[in-house]
C-alpha cells in the first residue's frame, strides 16, 4: 500500500514567503518573542548558510544587513497549513495531518487516476508549489518511511518497496525526530541523539547495523523502535482526518495601511492564494468575506453591538453587508472559523466586515478583486488597517453548458462586475430586478438582486401575446407632483402643478373617481381617490407637423393620473399616461 508525504522544511519561513514571495531569493529569519527579547525561531536555507541558527537573539543577527527579519505570524502559518491539507486532499481522500509542516497521504488506487508513483509525487510537488509552498515529496510503502525520506531528501523521492533501509541509510539520525529545528527541541530526542553520537552512530545505516538485543538492553523498547523505523520495517495505520472546508487567508501588517490602493495589492495576492486552494478542491466561491482589523484608537467609527454583528454574520446577507465591531467583540462565527481570531483584539482596534454574496459560484481572482475594490470604494473602512482576513464560502463549481439555440446571455462574471460598477454610480438599491409585492398599495414593489432567469424555464406562446394590443403605460413622477385643484360639484375642474408651471389648465376630460384604500388596520394605512384627467398641454403635439395637422385636437391633450389623498387631503399628480 503506497503512501506519500509532503514535508515543508522551515515551515514558519515558508508560510511567510508564501505571503511575501518577493523575499524568496533572500535570506529570511523569523523572530519570536516580545521585544527586546526576540529570538530567531526559524530560518531558510540561505540564512543558514550565513550562519544564522534558531535560538540566536535579534541583537546577534542584526549586523547581517542581508538578512530579512520578520515576526512570526500564526495567521499565515495556519493558512499555509490549511493550503497544505487542501493540496493533499485534492489527491487523496485519506490524509493524515501529521504536523503543521507534514501531511501523509494514502495513495492506494490512485495509479489509475494519476499514473505511476513518480508521476503522482511530481504532481503533488507541482501543486504544492502552485499554492506557494516549496515542499519535499516522498513516496514509500509505509507512512514513516515516506516521512523520513521527505524530511531527508529534497524535492521528489520515490522509495521502492523492500529497499527502504538501503535508501534511507545515508540520512542523518535527526530525520527520526521532529521539532529539532525549533529553539526548544524535545528532551527525549536530544537524549537519544547525544547517546548515538557518543557511540559514533551518525546515520540510519549505522543504526540499522547495531545488534537489536544489545540496543534493547541499553535504550529499551524506544531504541528498538527507532531501529525498526530506520529499517522501514514498521507499517503503522494512517490516522485520517477530514480537512474542513474553511478557506481563509490572512495577513498581518507591520505598519497600518491607510490607502485603499496598496490594500488592493494585498487583496490580489490573498485572492490568488484563496482561488488556488479552492481550485485544488474543485470548488468555487459563493460568498467572499473581507474582515479588516482597524487601528481605531480615535473611536470615530460607530460601534455595532456584538449581537447584531453576530446576527449579520450568521444569517445570509442580501447583497452585501458591513459591520464594525468594537474592541474584543468579534462575531461568534469568526471566532470559531479562525484560530487566529481566538486571540483578543488589541485594545484600540475594531473589526470592519464586508460580505459579498455572489449570484453564482465563481473562481476568478481578478473579478473578485474588482468587486472588492468597488465595494471598498463605496464603503471605505474609515481607519488605518492592521490586519486583513479574507475568507470564502465554498460551493460546487458551476457546470452549465450553454445551448446552441438559446438566446445569448451576459457572462455572469462580467455582469456582476458591470452591476457593481453601476451600483457604485447610482447606488446599490437603484439597480436590480423588481419584485411586485402582494398588495394594492401604489408602488408596491421591492428591488432585488438581478439574477437572470435561466432560459427554457417557461415557454410562452409568443404569437398569442403579440397579437394583443399593448398596454397603456403609466409614467410615474417620483416624488409625485403636488397639485392645486379647483373643485366644482366635487369634481376637479382646474389643476395647477406646483413645480411645473407649464402644466396647468382646465380639465377637459376626466374619469373617476376610483377609490382605493388598504392597510387600514395598520398604522400606515392609505386611502385615495384616483382620477384620470386630460388637460391641454403646451408641449404636446409640437413636433410632428404632419401628424399634428392630421389630428388637431387630441394630440395636444395630456393624460394624467390625479390622486386625492383622503387621509391628509392633499392632491397630487402621480404620473402621466404615455
Partner 1 sequence: MSSIMVDIKAASFPLAAHTKSTALLKQLSGTPKLTGVTPASRLEIRPAPDQASSGITQIDVLTGGLPRGCLTEICGPDCSGRTSLLLSALAAATRREEICALIDASDAFHPHSAAAAGINLERLLWIRCGVNSLSSSLSRKRRPATSLEEWDRRRMEDPVEQALRAADLLLQSNGFGMVAIDLAGTPPKMARRIPLTSWFRFRRVVENTPTVLLVIGEQSCAQSCASLSLQLQKSVFGSRFPVLSGQPSSNGNPSCAEQRPSHTELLSGMGIRAEVLHARTERKPVQTATAAFHTEAAWTG
Radius of gyration, CA atoms only, the chain: 35
Q: Quick one: 232 or 492, whose CB is closer to partner 1?
A: 492
- Residue from 570, 511, 530, 534 nearest 440 by CA: 530
> At 313, phi and psi to the nearest 5?
-75, -30
> At 131, phi and psi to the nearest 5?
-85, 5
Minimum separation from the CB atom of position 383 to partner 1 (A):
23
Helices (H), 157-244: 164-168, 187-199, 204-209, 212-231
Q: Quick one: 244 or 479, whose CB is closer to partner 1?
A: 479
Q: Quick one: 237 or 467, whose CB is closer to partner 1?
A: 467
Q: Quick one: 154 or 508, whose CB is closer to partner 1?
A: 508
Minimum separation from the CB atom of position 385 to partner 1 (A):
24
| H/E run at residue 466 | helix 462-467
Minimum separation from the CB atom of position 240 to partner 1 (A):
45
Minimum separation from the CB atom of position 405 to partner 1 (A):
11
Q: Quick one: 35 or 545, whose CB is closer to partner 1?
A: 545
User: What span, in angstroms and rounded, lies between the C-alpha atoms of 256 and 348?
Assistant: 13
Minimum separation from the CB atom of position 256 to partner 1 (A):
26
DSSP letter assigned to residue 452: P
Q: Quick one: 192 or 368, whose CB is closer to partner 1?
A: 368
Minimum separation from the CB atom of position 315 to partner 1 (A):
24
Kindly report the length of the chain. 578
Question: What cell was used for 292?
Answer: 479588516
Q: Quick one: 199 or 450, whose CB is closer to partner 1?
A: 450
Q: Quick one: 347 or 550, whose CB is closer to partner 1?
A: 550
Tell whether omega for the bond before 479 is within 30 degrees of 0, i.e. cis: yes
Asked if residue 543 lies in contact with residue 509, where contact means CB atoms within 8 angstroms, the answer is no
> At 349, phi and psi to the nearest 5?
-135, 155
Q: What is the largest CA-CA distance in the chain?
A: 122
Minimum separation from the CB atom of position 551 to partner 1 (A):
5
Minimum separation from the CB atom of position 138 to partner 1 (A):
49
One-character DSSP codes across 259-294:
-HHHHHHHHHHHHHHHHHHHHHTTEEEEEEEEEEEE
Q: Quick one: 223 or 480, whose CB is closer to partner 1?
A: 480
Residue linked to cell 475568507: 391
- Residue from 100, 86, 96, 99 nearest 130 by CA: 86
Question: What cell was used for 345?
Answer: 483584539
Minimum separation from the CB atom of position 489 to partner 1 (A):
10
Question: What cell was used for 63?
Answer: 549586523
Asked if residue 281 lies in contact with residue 245, where contact means CB atoms within 8 angstroms, the answer is yes
Minimum separation from the CB atom of position 296 to partner 1 (A):
27
Q: Quick one: 517 or 555, whose CB is closer to partner 1?
A: 555
- Show the CA angle centred on residue 121, arms to residues 120 and 123, nearest 5°: 65
Q: Quick one: 64 or 548, whose CB is closer to partner 1?
A: 548
Task: Output the CA–CA distances (angstroms, integers) from residue 22 to 16, 19, 254, in the order listed.
Answer: 11, 9, 16
Minimum separation from the CB atom of position 159 to partner 1 (A):
54
3-state secondary structure of 313: helix
Minimum separation from the CB atom of position 408 to partner 1 (A):
5
Q: Quick one: 381 or 513, whose CB is closer to partner 1?
A: 513
- Residue from 143, 148, 149 nearest 239 by CA: 143
- Residue from 164, 162, 158 nearest 145 by CA: 164
Amino acid at each position: 500500500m503506497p503512501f506519500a508525504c509532503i514535508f515543508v522544511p522551515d515551515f514558519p519561513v515558508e508560510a511567510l514567503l508564501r505571503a511575501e514571495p518577493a523575499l524568496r531569493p533572500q535570506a529570511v529569519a523569523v523572530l519570536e518573542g516580545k521585544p527586546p527579547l526576540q529570538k530567531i525561531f526559524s530560518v531558510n536555507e540561505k540564512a543558514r548558510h550565513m550562519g544564522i541558527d534558531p535560538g540566536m537573539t535579534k541583537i546577534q543577527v542584526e549586523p547581517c544587513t542581508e538578512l530579512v527579519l520578520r515576526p512570526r505570524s500564526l495567521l499565515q502559518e495556519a493558512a499555509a497549513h490549511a493550503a497544505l491539507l487542501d493540496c493533499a486532499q485534492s489527491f487523496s481522500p485519506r490524509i493524515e495531518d501529521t504536523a503543521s509542516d507534514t501531511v501523509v497521504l494514502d495513495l492506494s488506487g490512485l495509479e489509475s487516476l494519476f499514473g505511476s508513483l513518480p508521476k503522482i509525487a511530481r504532481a503533488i510537488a507541482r501543486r504544492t508549489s502552485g499554492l506557494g509552498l516549496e515542499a519535499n515529496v516522498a513516496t514509500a510503502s509505509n507512512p514513516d518511511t515516506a516521512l523520513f525520506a521527505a524530511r531527508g531528501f529534497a524535492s521528489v523521492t520515490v522509495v521502492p518497496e523492500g529497499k527502504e533501509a538501503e535508501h534511507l541509510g545515508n540520512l542523518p539520525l535527526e530525520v527520526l525526530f521532529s521539532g529539532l529545528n525549533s529553539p526548544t527541541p524535545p528532551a527525549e530526542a536530544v537524549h537519544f541523539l547525544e547517546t548515538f553520537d557518543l557511540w559514533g552512530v551518525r546515520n540510519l545505516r549505522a543504526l540499522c547495523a547495531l545488534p537489536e538485543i544489545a540496543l534493547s538492553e541499553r535504550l529499551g523498547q524506544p531504541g528498538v523502535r527507532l531501529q525498526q523505523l530506520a529499517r522501514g520495517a514498521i507499517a503503522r495505520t494512517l490516522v485520517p482526518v477530514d480537512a474542513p472546508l474553511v478557506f481563509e487567508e490572512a495577513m498581518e501588517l507591520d505598519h497600518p495601511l491607510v490607502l485603499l490602493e496598496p490594500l488592493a495589492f494585498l487583496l490580489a495576492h490573498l485572492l490568488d492564494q484563496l482561488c488556488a486552494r479552492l481550485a485544488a478542491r474543485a470548488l468555487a466561491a459563493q460568498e467572499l468575506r473581507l474582515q479588516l482589523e482597524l487601528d481605531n484608537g480615535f473611536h470615530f467609527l460607530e460601534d455595532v453591538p456584538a449581537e447584531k454583528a453576530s446576527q449579520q454574520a450568521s444569517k445570509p446577507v442580501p447583497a452585501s453587508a458591513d459591520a464594525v465591531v468594537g474592541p474584543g467583540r468579534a462575531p461568534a462565527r469568526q471566532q470559531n472559523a479562525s484560530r487566529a481570531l481566538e486571540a483578543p483584539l488589541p485594545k484600540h482596534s475594531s473589526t470592519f466586515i464586508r460580505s459579498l454574496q455572489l449570484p453564482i459560484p465563481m473562481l476568478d481572482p481578478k473579478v473578485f478583486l474588482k468587486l472588492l475594490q468597488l465595494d471598498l470604494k463605496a464603503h471605505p473602512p474609515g481607519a488605518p488597517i492592521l490586519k486583513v482576513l479574507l475568507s470564502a464560502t465554498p460551493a460546487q463549481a458551476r457546470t452549465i453548458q450553454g445551448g446552441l439555440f438559446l438566446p445569448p446571455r451576459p457572462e455572469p462574471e462580467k455582469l456582476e462586475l458591470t452591476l457593481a460598477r453601476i451600483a457604485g454610480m447610482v447606488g446599490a438599491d437603484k439597480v436590480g430586478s423588481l419584485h411586485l409585492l402582494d398588495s394594492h398599495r401604489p408602488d408596491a414593489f421591492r428591488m432585488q438582486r438581478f439574477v437572470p432567469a435561466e432560459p427554457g424555464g417557461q415557454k410562452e406562446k409568443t404569437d398569442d401575446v403579440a397579437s394583443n394590443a399593448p398596454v397603456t403605460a403609466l409614467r410615474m413622477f417620483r416624488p409625485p407632483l403636488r397639485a392645486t385643484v379647483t373643485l366644482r360639484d366635487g369634481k376637479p375642474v382646474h389643476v395647477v402643478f406646483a413645480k411645473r408651471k407649464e402644466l396647468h389648465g382646465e380639465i377637459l376630460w376626466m374619469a373617476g373617481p376610483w377609490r382605493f384604500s388598504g392597510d387600514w388596520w395598520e398604522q400606515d394605512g392609505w386611502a385615495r381617490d384616483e382620477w384620470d384627467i386630460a388637460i391641454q398641454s403646451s408641449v404636446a403635439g409640437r413636433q410632428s407637423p404632419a401628424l399634428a395637422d392630421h389630428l388637431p385636437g387630441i394630440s395636444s391633450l395630456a393624460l394624467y393620473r390625479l390622486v386625492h389623498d383622503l387621509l391628509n387631503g392633499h392632491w397630487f399628480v402621480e404620473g402621466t399616461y404615455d
